């Protein structure tokens, strides 16, 4: 689907969608339990893939109210769990475009007493899973890539009893999350040693926070938080059970970043963009508030009430390390294209292994809009002073974060921008373009 977005001023109040990262983990944690309700979930293409996996392992996911197929309209989802003992799926698990689903449920599959096959779309089948397969193999589980290249389709034969394992931390933090979530219900527990420094550490903090909410003990080794940890340990024989059988998903700061950026580059000069649902949590992407502030944005975060207010501002380039916040790179790159001076995004090689190579994608698509960029393997520099954004046709690369970031850039570009693949926002922010239109953006499908 093509989206046509014309330079616009935006203002008013928008509500952040629920967190995709928390929803994935909450649905799977509820699956590991005897049953739990997940309140305020993000129901998107990716989280539906996790719900399908829970069902494939013997659980079920249905709306608390409404028809069984109407997940998208549900305020809460009731998960009938498989009590830590997943069944062998009757069919292949299709993870679609969800890398999070693939990695998390690969470890779930290792618990089943038999074989599980996992696959997905062409993008997912190009993403690295090898370190997780190697870790499961080290733990005594047969875990293979059918093509022998460390990528899906994957075949996993359990059962997993636990043990000690070493894994790199600089490819995907989701490998650690997968092992911790599954390890809690093994007989022996799992101790994970990191062979390289952990990137995207806040995402493991999200996991630790959520596990605690579900009554699971899991701890970093050598640090109070995931950052700087030498590894992680989770005792076995535990039971997933949130207090009162219910868990509420917080707002999503990855999605909030696009609304913050829209306000900073295109808010009505006499008004502001206000974002509700921005309550503090372990999400590393809350760093967008500090990044926007450092760039000169007029921004205020009322943490108690969960409201961010941001005004159009004269921005200046800064240096940002995205080692722990890879999903912010597209947003920061867009802000850099509007700012004066250079915005230098460092420590970003791992961002090349997402739904697409997001480093190259943002460099190439912003250049179509008139931005000047310099791309290195681990650094992306946006030369804002040399950029003059004008409407053009750009490719969203079948990647929700690329699409939304380019939409923000279009707000500041002279004329009309056509974004190909606009439907991919369904992965994390299904109502993104409706929200932008409500704020005053001139959007046509």
Non-local (6+) Cβ contacts of 269 within 8 A are 9, 312
- Kindly state the DSSP code that residue 440 receives in the 8-state scheme: T
- Is 173 known as a binding-site position? yes
Backbone angles phi, psi at 272, to 5 degrees: -155, 170
- Is 368 known as a binding-site position? no
Classify 59 as helix, strand or coil.
coil
Which of 111, 116, 113, 88 shows the shortest CA–CA distance to 160?
111
- Is 20 known as a binding-site position? yes
Residue 327 known to be catalytic:
yes
Q: Helices marked H in 112-214 — which ranges?
A: 130-138, 174-183, 201-213
CA angle 99, 100, 104 (to 5 degrees): 120
Residue 255, Cβ neighbours under 10 Å: how many? 28
Tokens of 202: 């806040």
Strands (DSSP E) contained in 91-162 are: 93-94, 115-119, 142-145, 154-157
CA angle 335, 340, 344 (to 5 degrees): 60
- Is 21 known as a binding-site position? yes
- For residue 349, list its beta bridge partners: none
- Is 25 known as a binding-site position? yes
Residue with the two structure tokens 């630790």 = 208
Residue 385, Cβ neighbours under 10 Å: how many? 12
- Is 255 known as a binding-site position? no
Report how far apart, in Å, the C-alpha atoms of 105 and of each of 129, 237, 331 are. 12, 19, 29
Tokens of 28: 């799977």
- Is 99 known as a binding-site position? yes
C-alpha 357/C-alpha 354 separation (Å) is 6
- Is 236 known as a binding-site position? no
Report how far apart, in Å, the C-alpha atoms of 7 and of each of 266, 316, 418 are. 9, 21, 11
Pick the catalytic residue: 46, 252, 285, 327? 327
Backbone angles phi, psi at 29, to 5 degrees: -60, -40
- Is 327 known as a binding-site position? yes
Classify 333 as helix, strand or coil.
helix
Residue 415, Cβ neighbours under 10 Å: how many? 11
Residue with the two structure tokens 């997905």 = 120
- State the binding site for 3-phosphoshikimate: 20-21, 25, 172-174, 200, 327, 354
- State the binding site for phosphoenolpyruvate: 20, 99, 127, 174, 358, 401
Q: Which residues are catalytic?
A: 327
- State the binding site: 20-21, 25, 99, 127, 172-174, 200, 327, 354, 358, 401
């Amino acid at each position: 689907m093509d989206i046509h977005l014309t330079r616009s001023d935006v203002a008013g109040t928008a509500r952040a969608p629920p967190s995709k990262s928390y929803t994935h983990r909450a649905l799977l944690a509820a699956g590991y339990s005897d049953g739990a309700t997940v309140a305020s979930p993000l129901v998107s293409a990716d989280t539906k893939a996790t719900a399908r996996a829970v069902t494939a392992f013997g659980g079920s996911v249905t709306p608390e109210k409404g028809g069984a197929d109407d997940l998208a309209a549900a305020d809460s989802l009731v998960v009938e769990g498989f009590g830590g003992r997943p069944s062998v799926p009757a069919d292949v698990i299709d993870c679609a475009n969800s890398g999070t689903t693939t990695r998390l449920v690969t470890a779930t599959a290792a618990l089943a007493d038999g074989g599980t096959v996992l696959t997905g779309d062409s993008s997912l089948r190009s993403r690295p899973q090898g370190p997780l397969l190697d870790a499961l193999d080290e733990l005594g589980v047969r875990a293979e890539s059918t093509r022998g290249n460390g990528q899906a389709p994957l075949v996993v034969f359990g059962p997993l009893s636990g043990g000690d394992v070493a894994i790199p931390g600089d490819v995907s933090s989701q490998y650690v999350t997968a092992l911790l979530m599954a390890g809690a219900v093994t007989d022996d527990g799992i101790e994970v040693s990191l062979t390289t420094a952990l990137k995207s550490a806040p995402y493991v903090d999200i996991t630790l926070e959520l596990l605690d909410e579900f009554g699971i003990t899991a701890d970093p080794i050598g640090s109070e938080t995931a950052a700087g940890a030498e590894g992680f340990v989770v005792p076995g024989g535990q039971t997933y059970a949130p207090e009162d059988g219910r868990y509420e998903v917080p707002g999503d700061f990855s999605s909030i970043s696009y609304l913050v950026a829209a306000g900073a580059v295109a808010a009505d000069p006499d008004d502001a963009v206000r974002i509700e649902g921005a309550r503090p949590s372990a999400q590393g992407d809350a760093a967008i508030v500090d990044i926007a502030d450092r760039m000169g944005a007029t921004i205020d975060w009322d943490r108690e009430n969960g409201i961010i207010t941001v005004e159009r501002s004269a921005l200046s380039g800064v240096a940002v390390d995205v080692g722990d916040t890879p999903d912010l790179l597209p947003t920061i790159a867009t802000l850099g294209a509007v700012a004066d001076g250079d915005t230098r995004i460092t420590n970003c090689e791992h961002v090349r292994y997402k739904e697409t190579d997001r480093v190259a994608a943002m460099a190439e698509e912003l250049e179509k809009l008139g931005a000047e960029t310099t791309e290195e393997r681990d650094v992306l520099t946006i030369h804002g002073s040399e950029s003059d954004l004008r409407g053009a046709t750009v490719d969203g690369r079948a990647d929700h974060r690329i699409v939304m970031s380019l939409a923000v850039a279009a707000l500041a570009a002279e004329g009309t921008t056509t974004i190909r693949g606009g439907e991919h926002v369904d992965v994390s922010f299904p109502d993104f373009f409706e929200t932008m239109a409500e704020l005053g953006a001139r959007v046509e499908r």
